[in-house]
Amino acid sequence: MSDLTYAKIDQTVLDTLRPATQVYWFTVALLAVGMLGGLACWIYQIFIGIGVGGQNNPVAWGTYLINFVFWVGIAHSGTLISAILHLFHAGWRNPIARAAETMTVFAVCTAGLFPFVHLGRAWMVYYMLPYPNQRTLWPNFQSPLMFDVVAISTYLTVSSLFWYTGLLPDLATVRDRSTGLRKKIFTILSMGWTGKMEQWRHYTRGYLFFAALATPLVISVHSVVSWDFALGVVPGWHTTIFAPYFVAGAIHSGLAMVLTLMIPLRKIFSYEKIITLEVLENVAKTIILTGLIVGFAYGTEFFIAWYSQNSIEIAIFKWRALGHYKVGFWIMVVCNTIIPLLLFIKKIRRSIIWLFVISIFINIGMWFERFVIIITSVARDFIPHAWGLYWPTVVEMGIMVGSFSLFFFLFVLFVKHMPSVSMTENKEMLAEGESHGA
Amino acid sequence: MLSLKNKRLVILGIALIAIGFLAFIIQVAGSHPERAWQAYLINFLLWSAIAQGGLLFSVIMHLTKAKWCGPLTNVSEVFAAFFPISFALFLILFLGKAHVFPWQHMDLHGKEVWLNVPFLFFRDGVALLILYGLGFTYLFYALQLKAIGAATGGRLRSFLDQKMGINPDVTRIHQRMSIFSVLYALAFAGVLSLIGYDLVMALDPHWISTLFGAYQFVKAFYVGLGGMIILASALYLTQGDSTGLTTTHFHNLGKLFFAFCLLWADFFYVQLVVIWYGNIPEETAYVIERTMVPPWNFLAWVVFIVAFVLPFFILLNKNVKTKPKFMMVLSAVILVGIWLEHLLLVGPALSHGSRSLPLGLWDGLITLGFLGLMIFAVVYFLDEFPELKRFQPAVEKR
Amino acid sequence: MGPECQVMGLFTDEERAASAVQALEETPWQLKQVHSPIPSHKLSEALNLKKSKVGYFTLVGGIIGFFSGFALAMFTAAKWSLIVGGKPVIALVPFVIVGFEFTILFAVFGNVIGLLIQGGLPDFKGMEIYDPRCSGDHFGVLAACPEIEKGQLINYFKEKGGVTRVFES
């Protein structure tokens, strides 16, 4: 960080907003095709019916729920980085906070699609909203599914507002260095921000409250998502550890996605001086922690299942490890808890390639964790004659590819048209570094 | 003055320990020994947690390379002095096995291989030895960076000074500290969970909660921070600025305390909502007995208000966190609240079917004994390592 | 008083900007505003800025949200009074979740409203007397003086180590 100046930070970030290359537009087009493929699958499902998915009796929840939980989980680490680390004054968050918060907003958007898709009759989604109607029907707020509606909408709203507030000073910076149409757009977006100390006075206070409010929100949202499962009585689901276990798992997968996104980003956009190896190393260290928590949860669940001496509890955990879906189970355990242990080794933590590869494995592992939890518990619950199996269909996989395409599409569009690194926060870090004589 | 040279403090400490010991012996010899052992168990768990959680602070500060903590790590490290006492207290717990292990005479449906006195004592003893061993090893290295040089203090100090040497290799010490802080943190989670399952959850052997272990260690850090606030305030009030503690330190410590108050309450609620919602009688019996049935429901509300509602509203205010005297009193009140929470968890199992709260003067007197032990441990340690009372910036890693 | 003009001194160094602001008090010229690309501690100390009142908006929002959340959940439950799974119709335990989320949501709304009102945003008029370098790497100190003293003010800023820009009224 030694030779960074305010001007260099601005220049590095503003350079990313220059007109894009052909490779870029080709990537965007490819992602758009993926999205359209997913949309086509969904339209097919709306016409033919929800049965085109693999869900059946007894496994009524399939990849739509898995992907829902997966994307909400990814969103969480963005808020961890931008909100929680802000409260801890952890300076290493500044270079990645903007991109992480963006990842959050887009991940929640992607996640929010899945309840629609899963509904089948998506046009009836408004039933979930509490408004006076002539049937005098109201949603049942005691249902964890309604908790979800409330929590996810709150999370999307709060994250978007937090993200936008954080963007505001940077939007002014872009405005002041643009011309023509871009200048007009950014003038409106930046709301006339001029960096007056009067404005900063309120801004910093408001931002602090955003961070202080987003922190308990993050913990509550994924707890609520975990309660979609834990509040039922299904064996393997009904367990008190779910809320913190899901939150830790969410942060685990989110941080891995942060690495997956940041590593190519920093190479392509020449952010190496801002998103330094130290920053990535700190993300890696946090991943060690979340991986250990997730491993602790796995171990505890198995131990308590044995301790309970409840034959059904024991049976479901045995089946998870050794039954029909054991491949998914072992992928989950190895990718989430064993592979991150490699990050204890300093050489691996500081190697870009290792970090990228490990992050991909963790993402795969976390997807399979949701698969194992959701599918195995429902496939074999209490009554043996009602047991069944599940496998996703092509339509479901198409929609899943579409969701990944959507997420990356939004993210790729964002990074080329908006400042993907917070110039303001990084300049702040420089100023603080100078005043501490560091 | 927080030192063994302070005669009044020594007399107070001895008096407290004596009162506690006598009260315990009288109760044990009397007609209700189970009450004495109940109080013993509660106190053993609580005071050990304060010590274990207290040291965790220094460990976490080292792992996160935090700079805001300054001399607070000194305050945190003092608590390790209680570890040997805690282990001795654990061994003594064996004497009360007839009263603290109600499952001994129950039909355990296959759990006997896990829940039997010899195995339980063996594994918990080994676990505590590992935890305390790791804690001391971490401390050994941490102290080398702070206590370089002058050998003041008694026999323990001279023994350690010999082991530490005069010109320690700073890089190597930092490396060792990092290794042992990771190990201590892992052991903290594992051992406190194990103790939680064995000594608290098992009292109701047919009840399970997967989060119970984690709930115990989150609670331990919460009370550890409370203990740290009391000690930091005491040091500041007796020694002033020479401790190196400033308003900012108290403010930040208060904020962390607030955060763990919220986390503890969150973990409590998370267990409650899953059990309440599932409405499965195997699980709800435990919760119903403690939160809806007299005499325990009253205690549940007291715990909720004293350990959550009160600190939540008070600690929202910035200024309050910077006043050491007030924070000392508040932390003490909260620790009493968590003492009552232990009673809430443990009481219905050990004093099953009692019509009134099994809480009385004797329990308070026994608690005073444990307080005396903690004071003694802390003050002894401060005497052996007076550098902990003065702030020295830690030797930087080269 | 003759015609007024405003001169902005632009500094690349935070310290110099802060000292210019403080020293300006001893001059007859009036400090209009200070622009900064970062939330600068030094400048806010130099200006003796008071704590912002945005928090009150947040608090009010949070309180409204807390009661609305519980009220909504209780109202909708009481409308049909169905006992599901043996659980009471109006129960505190699950409604805490709805209440909590609404508290956060409305507190954030309050926060945003407070930010907009207190910060005076959007403020497109404020861009008229503004230099785009202030969002980059310069700190702008705007002072007003009578037209005649323009030269003195410019020199003052130059001595403090900044470049200047004049805004005619």
pLDDT along chain B (398 residues), means of 10: 82 92 91 90 96 96 88 92 96 91 88 92 96 94 73 67 71 90 96 96 93 96 96 90 87 94 96 94 92 91 96 91 93 97 94 85 93 93 82 56
Q: Could you tell me which chains touch chain C, where touching means 3 or more CB pairs under 8 A? A: A, B
Asked whether residue A236 is assigned to any structural domain, the reply reads yes
Which pLDDT score is estimated for B396?
Answer: 53
Q: Name the residue among C108, C123, C133 with its Cβ closest to that of A161.
A: C108
- Mark yes or no for CB contact B279/C85 under 8 Å: yes
Q: Stretch C94-120: mean pLDDT, rounded?
A: 95
Task: State the average pLDDT for chain A.
Answer: 93
* Region of residue C48 (phi > 0: left; psi between -120 and 50: alpha; otherwise: beta): left
Cα distance from B273 to chain C (closest Cα, Å)?
6
Residues B128 and B125: their CA atoms lie apart, in Å, by 5
Quick check: B53 and B334 in contact, CB under 8 A? no
Which pLDDT score is estimated for B395?
Answer: 56
- Establish, for the pair of chains A and C, how many residue pairs have beta carbons separated by less than 8 Å: 192
B344-377 burial by CB neighbour count: b if 16+ within 10 A, else e? bbbbbbbbeeeeebbbeebbebbbbbbbbbbbbb
Cis status of the peptide bond prior to C122, with omega within 30 of 0: yes
State the pLDDT confidence band at A61, using cuts at 50, 70 and 90.
very high
Pseudo-torsion of CA C79, C85, C86, C90, nearest 10°?
-30
Cis status of the peptide bond prior to A384, with omega within 30 of 0: no
Cα distance from C154 to chain A (closest Cα, Å)?
21
Which pLDDT score is estimated for B68?
Answer: 87
Same domain? For C81 and C115 the reply is yes
- In degrees, to the nearest 5, what angle opens at C-alpha B211 toward C-alphas A101 and B345? 130
Q: Name the residue among C85, C86, C94 with its Cβ closest to that of B273.
A: C94
User: CA of C35: which chain A residue's CA is closest?
Assistant: A196
Quick check: B39 and B365 in contact, CB under 8 A? no
Report how many domains make up chain C. 2
Cis status of the peptide bond prior to A58, with omega within 30 of 0: yes
> Any chain A CB within 8 A of the CB of B106?
no
Report how many domains make up chain A. 1
**Tally of residues, chain B:** 398
Quick check: B71 and B165 in contact, CB under 8 A? no
Which pLDDT score is estimated for B148?
Answer: 55
In sequence order, the β-bridge partners of residue A232 are: none
Q: β-strands C163-168, C30-35: how paired?
A: unpaired
Asked whether residue C125 is assigned to any structural domain, the reply reads no
Question: In terms of residue numbers, what domain contains C142?
Answer: 4-51+130-168
Asked whether residue A171 is assigned to any structural domain, the reply reads no
Q: What is the CA A22 to chain-centroid distance, rounded?
A: 29
Complex confidence, ipTM: 0.93
- Mark yes or no for CB contact C100/A220 under 8 Å: yes
DSSP C53: S
Q: β-strands C139-146, C163-168: how paired?
A: unpaired
**Tally of residues, chain C:** 169
Question: What string of DSSP letters covers C73-114?
Answer: HHHHHHHH---BTTB-SS-HHHHHHHHHHHHHHHHHHHHHHH
Residues B95 and B175: their CA atoms lie apart, in Å, by 41
DSSP A93: G
Taking the alpha carbons of A119, A123, A124, A125 in that order, is the dihedral positive or negative? positive
Residue A1 pLDDT exceeds 70: no
Which pLDDT score is estimated for A432?
Answer: 82
Record the pTM.
0.93
Asked whether residue C124 is assigned to any structural domain, the reply reads no
User: CA of A306: which chain B residue's CA is closest?
Assistant: B111
Q: At B20, which amino acid appears?
A: G
Same domain? For C69 and C47 the reply is no
> Any chain A CB within 8 A of the CB of C48?
no
Q: C-alpha distances in angstroms, B152 versus B148, B156, B169?
A: 11, 10, 22
Cα distance from C71 to chain A (closest Cα, Å)?
11
Same domain? For C113 and C146 the reply is no
Asked whether residue C81 is assigned to any structural domain, the reply reads yes
Residues of B in contact with A244 (CB under 8 A): 211, 214, 267, 270
Question: In terms of residue numbers, what domain contains A55?
Answer: 6-136+232-431
Residues C36 and C17: their CA atoms lie apart, in Å, by 10
> Any chain A CB within 8 A of the CB of C3?
no
| 3-class secondary-structure state, position A420 | coil
- Tokens found for residue B261: 């108050």
- Tokens found for residue A369: 């964790």
Residues of B in contact with A239 (CB under 8 A): 210-211, 274
User: CA of A141: which chain C residue's CA is closest?
Assistant: C73
Quick check: B218 and B267 in contact, CB under 8 A? yes
- Mark yes or no for CB contact A200/C36 under 8 Å: yes
- Mark yes or no for CB contact A244/B267 under 8 Å: yes
In sequence order, the β-bridge partners of residue A381 are: none
Residues B349 and A225: their CA atoms lie apart, in Å, by 33
User: CA of C95: which chain B residue's CA is closest?
Assistant: B273
Interacting residues of C94 by C-beta distance below 8 A, sequence separation 6+: A141, A142, A147, B273, B276, B277, C73, C87
* Mutation to test the B interface, candidates C56, C66, C84, C93, most B Cβ within 10 Å: C93
Helices B212-239, B33-63: crossing angle, 10 deg rounding: 80
Asked whether residue A174 is assigned to any structural domain, the reply reads no
Q: Any idea which of A196-210, A352-366, B161-175, B320-334 has the lowest mean pLDDT?
A: B161-175
> What CATH code is carried by the domain that includes residue C159?
3.30.70.120
Interacting residues of A185 by C-beta distance below 8 A, sequence separation 6+: none
Quick check: B229 and B253 in contact, CB under 8 A? yes
In sequence order, the β-bridge partners of residue A196 are: C35
Please name the residue that has the structure tokens 């204890």.
Answer: A344
Please name the residue that has the structure tokens 């807390």.
Answer: C66
Which pLDDT score is estimated for A200?
Answer: 92
Largest Cα–Cα separation, chain C: 85
Q: Stretch A219-229: mean pLDDT, rounded?
A: 95
Quick check: A181 and A42 in contact, CB under 8 A? no
- In degrees, to the nearest 5, what angle opens at C-alpha A107 toward C-alphas A82 and A224? 85
Phi (first) and psi of residue B179, to 5 degrees: -60, -50
Comparing C-alpha atoms, which of B247, A200, B317, A425 is closest to residue C49?
A200
- In degrees, to the nearest 5, what angle opens at C-alpha B158 toward C-alphas B156 and B164? 100
**Tally of residues, chain A:** 438
| 3-class secondary-structure state, position C165 | strand
Asked whether residue A186 is assigned to any structural domain, the reply reads no
Which pLDDT score is estimated for A437?
Answer: 46
Quick check: C135 and A186 in contact, CB under 8 A? no
Helix H or strand E segment including A308: helix A277-308
> Any chain B CB within 8 A of the CB of A230?
yes
Which pLDDT score is estimated for A371?
Answer: 96
Which pLDDT score is estimated for A103?
Answer: 96
Q: C-alpha distances in angstroms, A184 versus A10, A177, A192, A420?
A: 20, 11, 11, 20
> Any chain A CB within 8 A of the CB of C126?
yes
- Establish, for the pair of chains A and B, how many residue pairs have beta carbons separated by less than 8 Å: 68
Asked whether residue C18 is assigned to any structural domain, the reply reads yes
Instruction: Note which residues in 203-262 of chain A have CB less than 8 A from chain C.
Output: 203-206, 209-210, 213, 216-217, 220, 224, 227
Q: Stretch A88-111: mean pLDDT, rounded?
A: 93
Cα distance from C19 to chain B (closest Cα, Å)?
26
Instruction: Note which residues in 129-188 of chain A have CB less than 8 A from chain C.
Output: 130, 136, 138-142, 146-147, 150-151, 153-154, 157-158, 161-162, 165, 169, 172-173, 175-177, 187
- In degrees, to the nearest 5, what angle opens at C-alpha B355 toward C-alphas B351 and B361? 70
A206-233 burial by CB neighbour count: b if 16+ within 10 A, else e? bbbbbbbbbbbbbbbbbbbbbbbbbbbe
- Mark yes or no for CB contact B276/C96 under 8 Å: no
Cα distance from C2 to chain A (closest Cα, Å)?
27
Residues C133 and C140: their CA atoms lie apart, in Å, by 8
Residues B197 and B194: their CA atoms lie apart, in Å, by 5
Same domain? For C78 and C112 the reply is yes
- Tokens found for residue C130: 């503004």
In A288-367, the DSSP E strands lie at: none
Residues C168 and C162: their CA atoms lie apart, in Å, by 19
Same domain? For C79 and C96 the reply is yes
Helix H or strand E segment including A353: helix A352-371
